[in-house]
Amino acid sequence: MEPDLQLYSVRTDLALEAKEMAQGPQRTPIPGVNEEVEESEGIKVTRLGVANAAGSQAIGRAIGNYVTLEVPALRGGDTGLQQKVAEVFAREFEDFLTRIGIGKEASVLIVGLGNWNVTPDSLGPLVVENALITRQFYELVPDQVSPGYRKVSAIAPGVLGLTGIESSEVVQGIVDRTKPDLIIAIDALASRSLERINTTIQIADIGIHPGSGIGNKRRGLTQEILGVPCVAIGVPTVCYASTIVNNVLEMMKNHFGQGAGHTKEIMGMLDDISEQERLSLVKEVLEPLGHDLIVTPKEIDEFIEGIANIVASGLNAALHDAVDPENVGAYTH
């Protein structure tokens, strides 16, 4: 298959969706992939562990830990729920750090990936703007910092097209000079399913791999590259149009499969179309604007601000004991 045809396939940055697709409709368990689900008050938390190479290959994700929060009702814009989600996210994130062995004193560099001029790609820079930054106090007036805080700095490195420098190079330069113990990278993602847009948060200890996220990240941010543990936080803010079109074709198969007579026949034939034939069809539809065409709700500008606030509030509470989870909103603007 031509390599760029692959770009017209179903694309997702969520490990949860990659797992679902690998499982198929029967939800067959996958060896090497553990799952733990908890749901309460409309917030579903899924903790995935990709334990070994077999699991990794089966779902096409790196070995590591993945936590996903799903909150379909977030779309409603209920401020009370947003507060609640920030609290749950803070707790999950704190537990996540403990689980992977990051201590309370570890200094942190938050990296907000993406392009602030492209609304659905602006999650990272928005979170950085609302993060509680403290490193300067530790540098300038170390004896005046109250207990309950840790050293946090943050940077939005921009995108290659605007700076001429890979984000990872900017980050590596800063890491070399400021020696943080942990990097937390924030990025906007693409999901397979429309209902996960702006209602889902993924935490992963695998960092940012090249090609993931909705911008064009050519190099990754990983422990291998940077020499520092790297936790990624992502929120799907778009679906690719190609994913939607593929979903239609998929749904047609199901639709006709449930019918009888000649609709049932169609299904059989649709099954016969090769994947290459299918992707060529998708490409043909989307050709004029290319594989980067995205599908978003019209209110994306507002949604993205809301979810960025949740992530920033949650991060602030998780990283600083002095920031009360019940009052996390107070530190963002």
Q: Which is nearer to its own copies, 64 or 157 (CB)?
A: 157
Residue 268 phi/psi, 5-degree rounding, is: -55, -45
DSSP notation for 28-70: ---TTEEEEEEEETTEEEEEEEE-SHHHHHHHT--SEEEEEEE
Q: In angstroms, what is the minimal distance from the CB of 305 to its own copies?
A: 7
Between 25 and 80, CB nearer to its own copies: 80
Which residues face 183 on adjacent strands? 109, 230
Question: Nearest-CA neighbor of 14 among 171, 206, 301?
Answer: 206
41 with 170: CB under 8 angstroms? no
Nearer to its own copies, 28 or 289 (CB): 289
Give the nearest distance from C-beta 9 to its own copies in angstroms. 15
Sequence letter at residue 186: I
Phi, psi of 122 (to 5 degrees): -95, 10
Q: How far is the CB of 185 from its own copies (least distance, A)?
A: 15
For its own copies, the closer of residues 27 and 298 by Cβ is 298
Q: Which is nearer to its own copies, 11 or 61 (CB)?
A: 11
Q: How far is the CB of 330 from its own copies (least distance, A)?
A: 4
Q: Are strands 230-240 and 182-190 parallel, antiparallel or unpaired?
A: parallel
Element (H, E) at 191: none
Are 230 and 212 in contact, with CB atoms under 8 Å apart?
no
Are the C-beta atoms of 186 and 311 separated by less than 8 Å? yes
Q: How far is the CB of 320 from its own copies (least distance, A)?
A: 13
Per-residue tokens: 8: 């017209």
> In what helix (H) or strand (E) does residue 200 lie, and over which residues does it extend?
strand 200-204
Joined together, the tokens standing for residue 100 give 């992977």
Compute the least distance from the CB of residue 31 to its own copies, in Å: 31
Q: How far is the CB of 119 from its own copies (least distance, A)?
A: 6
Q: Which is nearer to its own copies, 36 or 284 (CB)?
A: 284
Nearest CB to its own copies, comparing residues 58 and 189: 189
